[in-house]
Amino acid sequence: MVKAGSAAVGARVHSIDVILGFNKDQDPLLNPGGNAVTHKVGGESLGELGKHDQRVQPYGHLSTLRDGSEQPAFHGCIAMAKFTPPEHFHFSKPEAWPDWKQRFARYRVASLLTEESEDVQVEEELKRMESMGIIEKVVDPTEWCAPMVPVIKKNGNIRICVDLKRLNENVKREKFILPTLDDLLPKLAKSTVFSSLDAESGFWQIPLEEYSARLTTFITPLGRYCFKRLPFGITSAPEIFQRKISEMLHGHDGTVVYMDDILVFGETQEKHDQNLKRVMETIRASGLRLNKEKCRFSQPELNFLGQVVTKQGIAPNPERVKAITAMDSPQNVSELRRLLGMINYIGRYLPNLSTVLQPLNELLKSERNWCWGPSQMQAFTEVKHLISSAPVLEFFDHVKPTVVSTDASSYGLGGVCVAWRHTSCLQTTSH
């Protein structure tokens, strides 16, 4: 055994680089130019200890995704074929590593399971995912290993999640911009018929290259597994999926896409049907699978991204309205933040929202102690009334003359966007 602090020895055991001779308080340094591990004693480098294998790097490289021959056995599908995977999904080291230190981590699982029945559910879900080709067993050593975080869903079933925080710190994102409601909703102007399509477990339809899959290794009570398909929780996954779906449906009239939600529309039934047919043909050719239970066809109104879209315009989802109006008054800052987040999501429907919420926002100031008084209760009651009577907003149409009115005070900014209709009256498009 090598004495710590006196020397450093590089050894190779089963093709895995190992460094001996460092105590837990010392950090070996990684030479970014040559991927060499060195250690300094008294300011002097002990020199190069040997090159790392490409398979053993602190920052792995996730190369081009490939279209695997195996497909998971999804059920309830409309379109069946292979889905062309993204070309660029990179886990890549930065161009420069100034003063970067490789740290050896201790991987462990802090189990959240408390009942034996939940252990059984986890085992069954892991076996189900393995049989579908979503995950596979890992038996050989891997340089990455994340903890499993099982989550109990509303229906009592288990969802297998993985804490990929450390891996996400090293993900090189492509920064593809996700569309917003303001980008998508104006395209629905003058539409009268709608259909919504839902991609079944969208991320899981994208296969991972073998080396990339090993970077997603996670540990469970049954041993280690890795994802063969793009897992939820990878920081760049939404951008990749959005880009691929957008590219797939680029040029299709009467279609907007947000992640795995696809909305098809038309000014008439005939136009809608033409748009829908072209979209479905493209989906079938690409191999994207749809969840028929969540698809809705040829409807006069539909829920889309928390909004109800109709030929008259958009309105807040009644379920969201009910969830807010049924809430009790918040008892602490955390509950208040949750309330305000739900309110602001439908803020486009609520006039004078900044003024109404001012007493509530005051409680968020760091120097302010929590004190729920009459002014806060009045604001809470008033905002519930605004939400329950929220109007239908007209789709923004750039062809119509538009008027924007703004106002400001010491505690808020406000504005309203209105459009002229053919009846010479104003119709609100957003607050």
Is 325 in the same domain as 419? yes
Token representation of residue 135: 């995950």
Widest pairwise Cα distance in the chain:
90
Token representation of residue 175: 């920064």
- Which of helix, strand or coil describes residue 413? strand
Pairing of strands 146-152, 218-220: parallel
Q: What is the pLDDT of residue 431?
A: 53
Q: Looking at residue 104, what DSSP letter applies?
A: P
pTM of the model: 0.63
Is 335 in the same domain as 308? no
223 belongs to a structural domain: no
Paired strand residues for 16: 13
Q: What is the pLDDT of residue 276?
A: 94
The predicted-structure confidence for 103-159, as pLDDT tens digits, reads as follows: 434 444 444 544 666 778 888 889 998 998 889 999 888 888 888 888 887 777 888
140 belongs to a structural domain: no
State the Cα–Cα distance between residues 32 and 161, nearest whole angstrom. Answer: 33
Token representation of residue 354: 């900044």
Q: Domain containing 365: what range? A: 316-428
**Final residue before a domain boundary, out of 277, 294, 314:** 314
Is 195 in the same domain as 269? yes
State the Cα–Cα distance between residues 247 and 256, nearest whole angstrom. Answer: 12
- Crossing angle for the helix pair 237-248 and 269-286, nearest 10 degrees? 120
Helices (H) and strands (E) in the chain, counts: 10, 23
> What are the mean pLDDT values of the chain's consecutive 10-residue runs (431 residues total)?
35 35 40 41 38 35 34 32 39 33 42 61 88 89 84 81 85 82 86 90 83 86 88 84 88 90 92 94 88 90 88 87 89 91 86 86 84 90 88 75 76 71 54 53
Is 367 in the same domain as 333? yes
Number of domains composing the chain: 2
Q: What is the pLDDT of residue 430?
A: 56
Is 188 in the same domain as 259? yes
* CA quadruple 354, 356, 362, 364: dihedral sign: negative
* CA quadruple 276, 278, 279, 283: dihedral sign: positive
Written as one letter, the residue type at 118 is: E
Token representation of residue 71: 């497909």
State the CATH number of the domain containing residue 387: 3.30.70
Written as one letter, the residue type at 375 is: S
Token representation of residue 173: 């994102």
Q: Give the number of other CB atoms < 10 A from CB of residue 142.
A: 18
**Final residue before a domain boundary, out of 314, 331, 348:** 314
167 belongs to a structural domain: no
* CA quadruple 288, 289, 295, 298: dihedral sign: positive
Token representation of residue 83: 């889905």
* CA quadruple 238, 243, 248, 254: dihedral sign: positive
- Which of helix, strand or coil describes residue 378? helix
Is 325 in the same domain as 259? no
Q: What is the pLDDT of residue 371?
A: 87
Is 252 in the same domain as 262? yes
Paired strand residues for 258: 261
170 belongs to a structural domain: no
Is 294 in the same domain as 322? no
Q: How remote is the C-alpha of 360 from its chain's centroid? A: 29
- Crossing angle for the helix pair 318-325 and 333-345, nearest 10 degrees? 150
State the CATH number of the domain containing residue 249: 3.30.70.270
